[in-house]
Amino acid sequence: MTEGVIMNLSVRINEDSNLKVLEVSGEIDAYTAPELKESLMPLVKESGKQIEVDLEDVQYMDSTGLGVFVSALKASKESGSHFTLKNVQERVCRIFEITGLSEIIDIKAAIRGGNE
């Protein structure tokens, strides 16, 4: 398990043999996106892996976050990995929907009202 924390975002990777879960918490904007990208890209570049990004604790994301996930999607297609986003909060989901990216990225929304 590796952990990196910068002011408004933290990223934690849980590794199983073929499934890797990247847990992200905080706000994703131009300041924090480089950290997310640095953690995510090496995972999606490995071939034949299943990568899940858990966004349950991300309440805010803007277009810089979209940019990171678009890059990850492209890389995963090249490496033959499968990349999904899970527990995506309503507000974050809306950003994917408005831009049409929800059509090309595998997204599972958070259950309304949380997962308690």
Given the rule CB under 8 A, which residues bind another protein? 7-8, 27, 29-31, 60, 62-64, 66-67, 91, 95, 98-99
> Mapping DSSP to helix (H, G, I), strand (E, B) and coil, where does residue 45 land?
helix
57-87 burial: b if 16+ Cβ within 10 Å, else e: ebeebeebbbebbeebbebbeebebbbebeb
User: CA–CA separation, 98 vs 54, rounded Å?
Assistant: 21
Work out the widest C-alpha separation in the chain, in whole angstroms: 37
